[in-house]
Structure 1
Amino acid sequence: MTKLYQAYQSYADFTDPFRALARATAPFLNFTWPGFPQSLLLRKMAAAAEVFSQTQVTHKRRPFAIDSVEDMGRTFEVREEVADQTPFCTLVRFHKMHSAPQPRVLLVAPMSGHFATLLRDTVRALLQDHDVYVTDWHNARDVSLENGRFGFDEYTAHLIRFQEALGPGAHMVAVCQPTVPAIAAVALMAEDNNPAQPSTLTLMAGPIDTRINPTAVNDLAQSKPIEWFEKNLVSAVPGRFEGGGRLVYPGFLQLTAFMHMNLPRHVDAFRNLYNHLTEGEAGKATVIKTFYEEYFAMCDMPAEFYLETVQSVFQEHDLPLGTLKVLGRTVDLAAIKKTALFTVEGEKDDICAVGQTLAAQDLCTGVRPSKKVHYVQTGVGHYGVFSGRRWTNEIYPRLRDFIHMHGEAVKKAEKPKLVLASVSLVA
């Protein structure tokens, strides 16, 4: 365990006031005084101040800000509701007001350094044709030690609980890292003949078998023993926060790793931001600012979940080798028979390469071929699988059609009743 968190927090406490000052100064420098032409020098100073203010890393979840959605030519108001809640997660329902009943979908967001709001585009698209529920994971530094541990078992137990809350005939869509606990949860539910096992399971750009086409992320996980990760990347939350003393993998370390993977691209983005601000191109500047406000909103991961994921998924490959144990049971993917399987990958994904998610198709031997579909989206990287133009126009229509083809008919518009989970969430 390191003291990196304390060092980072001291640095943030020192620099944040300067960023706040820069944020407040930029509009003043940009102000055009009556009778005086706007100065290029002042515009450059204002642009520099605003760029500096944008480099702030926060731990504040931004709003989804989805107030309405278009469906069949009609506009529906959307309200966020709490469908279920634990100390570690809120199950958020995006209630499409006055809409006819539609297929219920549990969207499983990653717990990998960002908040669930990173899936804003995913939610917005799904809402056109579905009743959407999202796992809104809490920042681990805000969860008291009194609430116990949170590891791979607890994550999987949450998914089973939430799927039961949606009830029979619902669907599950997992994006990136949670594809492994998602498919494990479905396998356990299938083995128990749980009536709430999903009609379809969609796995998007996830590390089902990282031995296939290993990426730089996979190579890093293999290059060090798990003890190295625990010693160098795990730190205790400073005592002033609600989760003081909790061991976490800090979000700022994950952000650093993400940034270094595509550092030239990020440098170019901030250079472009400066140029757009200097040249008065507010629209182009806003696009970049909005992206980085979300990208720099970081969420700490519980150390147990981080270390168990690294070891089980990326080092020991327990799932594809058939040795994954969850909640004291060996996960048997062959038990999945009723749930149709859709896997999606991005051609240029440098985090979960092509073939890693496809592996689920071969592992789920109990699912009939007629209930299996795999799709590779050309021209997109990791984030393009679940956000952006090609997600909306090319991937989502296929996902929608798959859900509607293999789903049960929706008979009545009643809110799903919370069913007591068959697994315990108590540490």
Structure 2
Amino acid sequence: MLYSLYEAGYYAGAPWRAAALATRDFWSSPLNPAADTDFGRRMYAGADLYANLTRRYGRPAWGIDSVLVDGKPVRVRETEVWSSPWVKLTHFARDAADLRRAGRRELAPAVLIVAPLSGHFATLLRGTVRAFLQDHEVFVTDWSNARDVPVLEGRFDFHDYIDHVRDMLRALGPRPHVVAVCQPGPPVLAAAALMAEDGEASRPATMTFMGSPIDARLSPTVTNRLAEQRPFAWFESNMVHTVPAPYPGMGRRVYPGFVQLAAFMSMNLQDHQQAHLRYLQQLMAGDGDGADRHLAFYDEYLSVLDLTEEFYLQTVDVVFQRYLLPKGELVHRDRLVRPAAITDIGLLTVEGENDDISGIGQTQAAHDICSGLPDDLKADYVQPHVGHYGVFNGRRFREEIYPRVRAFIAEAEARFDKPAFDSPGEPA
């Protein structure tokens, strides 16, 4: 019912949005002699803010056409190398001729970046991808919006997620590297443990966990406390709703993206209010650069996707209420997941000092449960002065975190003396 009411509210507001857009166009027209007056800028700013706050935000484009490698531009193209109804594995293939002109003739390591399936689209990791593209062949999990997947495609749960990670690692060939950003930490670690125990040739060479709730019992945040305080039945009754028409997934039960977004924004509501007030003031003052930065951030932040009922509820249960992985009790397809079986996969954990989503210690817990790993294959880093977002994006990520991840991967490449990924062809 909530989903239908949300849709009805959006369509009921269409006349007001149309009026706001017309007002914005009128007061920004170069043919309007009053457009550059104080009154004109105020009218434009108010109409623009209303239009942006009430419009729909679709899946953003990656917009990565080129990157700088050693200071020289290298063209990049997106290619789909593996897919299911639930995810598209996207390869950001760098142009081989441009790489040679940049002096890069060696084979590049393949890195699978597993984007979070927790409300936002994978494009939230655009800055992460750009950084890794300087030195690696980068593959990203671009997860589907559950409301766009027809009910006939079946279900997608926590264990399907683990299977998908395993299948994508296999698609990349022998010993790729995997980076899990936030939510994927537990299922990625489970996939690595199963592949290690089976001795699979495509088990990762390294796994990097960034702000991940490996053990959510440690340094609990507001998110963790909510999961602990509410019974499982509360999440099932209050957070899951039915996709209405005309979406392809109509009839599917989901955790809606707009509900997740409301939860995100409520955690820092005053900050968001101040940001929109600054945006309004920048428009009225004619500060186009400041307004553009605001729009760029919120165009991404307000773009959300739905999660399937089963994946969302199992994540709450497995990761945030029963803590099955760190307790050694996670069972996948009638098989106990044994992180101690991991003996030759490098482990790097990265946390932010001010992370209010995954508290300090939750990611570091991976070192304790991967008890079969020797110390020389483990590394941990806590980045000062950053919150959750800063762990995988922004200036400190580019200048302080990414170089450490790059060095960790390079060390593993040298240690295992394994074949790398030959760009831009297929995995070796």
Specify the TM-score bucket, using the shorter chain as the normaliser: over 0.9
Identity %: 45
Q: Contact 1:57 / 1:297 at 8 angstroms: preserved in 2?
A: no
| Shift in CA distance, 412/285, structure 1 to aligned 2, threshold 3 Å | closer
Residue 18 of structure 1 deviates from its aligned partner by 2.8
Match of 2:420 in 1: 410
Q: For residues 370-409 of structure 1, what are the structure 2 equivalents within 5 Å?
A: 370-407=376-413, 408-409=418-419
SS in 1 for 2:266: helix
Match of 2:60 in 1: 62
Are residues 414 and 388 of structure 1, via their aligned partners in 2, closer, same or farther at CA, if it must alter by over 3 Å? closer
After TM superposition, the structure 1 = structure 2 runs for residues 98-247 of structure 1, keeping only pairs within 5 Å, are: 98=96, 99=99, 100=105, 101-247=107-253
| Unmatched runs of 5 consecutive residues or more in structure 2 | 100-104
| Change in CA separation of 1:37 and 1:122 when aligned onto 2, cut-off 3 Å | closer
Q: How many residue pairs were aligned?
A: 416
- Residue 54 of structure 1 deviates from its aligned partner by 1.5
Contact preservation (8 Å) 1:58, 1:298: no
* Bigger mean CA deviation after superposition, 341-350 or 39-48: 39-48
1:145-176 Cα shifts (integer Å, max 9, x gaps): 11110000111111000000011121000000
Residues 22-47 of structure 1 show CA distances to partners (whole Å, capped at 9, x for unaligned) of 23431321335476682211211110
- Matches of 1:413 and 1:314, distance apart in 2: 40
The equivalent of 1:72 in structure 2 is 70
| TM norm structure 2 | 0.94
Give 1:223-302 correspondences, 5 Å limit: 223-302=229-308
Is this contact kept in 1: 2:115–2:180, CA < 8 A? yes
Gap change, CA 1:323 and 1:59, over 3 Å in 2: farther
Q: Distance in 2 between matches of 1:299 and 1:284?
A: 27
Q: CA deviation at 1:199?
A: 0.4
Where does residue 102 of structure 2 map in the other structure? none
| Partner SS state of residue 321, structure 1 | coil
Equivalent-residue separation in structure 2 for 1:413 and 1:303 (angstroms): 38
Runs of 4+ in 1 over 4 A off after TM superposition: 32-37, 411-414
Seen in structure 2, the aligned counterparts of structure 1 residues 374 and 20 have a Cα distance that, compared at 3 Å, is: farther
CA distance in 2, matches of 1:256, 1:327: 34
Structure 1 gaps of 5+ residues are 419-427
Quickly say closer, same or farther: Cα 1:410–1:103, change in 2 above 3 A.
Answer: same
- Contact 2:110–2:421 at 8 Å: present in 1 too? no
Give, in angstroms, the shift of residue 72 of structure 1. 1.6
| Offset at residue 117 of structure 1 (A) | 0.4
Task: Give the superposition deviation at 1:416.
Answer: 3.3
TM-score with structure 1 length normalisation? 0.94
Cα distance in 2 for partners of 1:32, 1:75 equals 37
Residue correspondence of structure 1 range 7-18 to structure 2 within 5 A: 7-18=5-16
Cα drift, residue 73 of structure 1? 2.6
How many angstroms does 1:389 deviate by? 0.6
Structure 1 residues 34 and 184: CA distance shift in structure 2, 3 A: closer
Q: Which amino acid in the other structure matches residue 252 of structure 1?
A: F
**2:189, 2:57 → 1: CA distance?**
29
